[in-house]
Amino acid sequence: MHACKGPAITPPAMDEGVGVVQLIDKHFSAYNAARLREGAQLWARRMAQPGVTVGLTLTGALTPAGLGPSCLVPLVRRGLVDFIISTGANLYHDAHFALGLTLHQSSPHSDDCALRKQGLVRIYDIVMDYRVLLETDSFFREIMKAPEFDRVMGSAEFHHLAGRYLAERQRVLGLGDLSLLAACHEMQVPVYTSSPGDSSIGMNAAAMQLMGSKFNWDASRDVNETAGLVLMAKRGGGKTGVVILGGGSPKNFMLQTEPHIQEVLGIEEKGHDYFLQVTDARPDTGGLSGATPSEAVSWGKVDPEGLPNTVVCYTDSTIALPLLTAYLIQTVGQREPQRLYARREEALELVRRQAKLG
């Protein structure tokens, strides 16, 4: 067979018995369907194997769309995600579910002036009562009054502490396993945010500082800690894989772990081993969101030898993530969780020991 040829495109006819695995493996034959198939197989066959540390990034309004309870919580519970870098907005909206505050399906063609008069807030085709925001703001300000928050800390520690409160709240309310932060707290999956001031959580933290709170974010700790998690995986004989939903700041924060290790700290490394991105961003505009894994090789972010293990699928994350999650559950099931939150100090100490700063 010629080297440029793959398997023949001969999908079977659809019938009532087609499941997600067969749909993806047998029917996603070309274009972005094929990229989604390659991404699902990459995650299931390589990244979900023991010894691979998987970092997940979240951008776009994913949790308001319900992807926390439906996809992200199951991935965390099954040990398929080891650490997360998210926009603050996704984590703020995640809290609504644990607090029993509802979001509703609507229309993208709603009259926004009328919604404003009715006290409703719109995220494309999702609406919520303005009180949802006010009650969530109140929740975060209330927990930040606790003595444990009255100091400087990294975002992973903040989200771990907040996740404990959210887990208890959803338990008391009898709501079930809805909150991503609650699941990450219980599974010891560290959750970082690359721009902590750029969300309603950050705004409430700023308000508390006006009232005399000593709470503040330690962004440098987050930079060193995430790099440490990557270095710890590599020095332990393992590999690292990144799953990027969208792009933006969390994508860069995830990928900069390798340049921080190599370029800034002077530690010998090659880059991430596996790369899967779901995005609607074009590469030709020069933005980071659309930058290809091949371009990332030039920065040391991706191991050149790992380029065959990189996939970019150009589609909406709200389409791809449910399919990827179902595929992983039905093919991999689960794996032993790494519980990296408890190993953050170990990761930091490794970075300190190996750094070669002139």
Lookup: tokens for 96: 């609504």
In whole angstroms, what is the distance from residue 343 CA to residue 82 CA? 12
In whole angstroms, what is the distance from residue 190 CA to residue 166 CA? 15
Alpha helices in 43-191 (DSSP H): 67, 73-77, 88-98, 112-118, 130-143, 155-172, 180-187
Considering only CA atoms, which of 188, 195, 178 is closest in space to residue 157? 188
In whole angstroms, what is the distance from residue 166 CA to residue 188 CA? 14
Inter-residue contact 76 to 180 (CB < 8 Å): yes
Inter-residue contact 287 to 256 (CB < 8 Å): no
Query: What distances in angstroms separate CA 76 from CA 49, 229, 282, one per listed residue?
Result: 15, 17, 30
In whole angstroms, what is the distance from residue 162 CA to residue 248 CA? 24
Annotated active-site positions, please?
Answer: 301
Between the two ends of the chain, the Cα-to-Cα distance in Å is 53
Lookup: tokens for 102: 């509802």
Q: Sign of the CA dihedral 109, 100, 320, 246?
A: positive
